[in-house]
Amino acid sequence: MQKTTFTLAEAADVLSCHKETLRRAIQSGDLRAARLGREYRISRADLQVFWTAQGGGELFMPEQMPDAPLPDKTTEAREATAKPRKPAGPEQLTLPT
């Protein structure tokens, strides 16, 4: 399971910077964060947007859908040898003469 929100210290570790740098970015409006009591929470998406705006690349690896089944080779082989299907939709309709 991937982490979706980060504390200021965790976000600073991810970006390899100081917490005060991120605190200043939040106060200037460059980094969006939610304030919970005396602490900040930063979403994964907001951290990525901030990092990209600063000139960084992809911060997190694209996540795979855990529920999506991986295609197996037997299904691919069956689809490759199957007859082409007739088109469904408007191509199948004919106008009366």
Reported as a single tens digit per residue, the pLDDT across 51-92 is: 999 888 888 776 644 455 555 555 555 565 666 665 555 555
Who's near 43: CB < 8 A, 6+ residues apart?
4, 5, 6, 32, 34
Please say if the pLDDT value at position 25 is more than 90.
yes
Say what the pLDDT of residue 20 is: 95
- Rounded to whole angstroms, how far apart are CA atoms 10 and 55? 20
Who's near 38: CB < 8 A, 6+ residues apart?
none
* Residue 60, both tokens: 């997190």
Reported pTM: 0.61
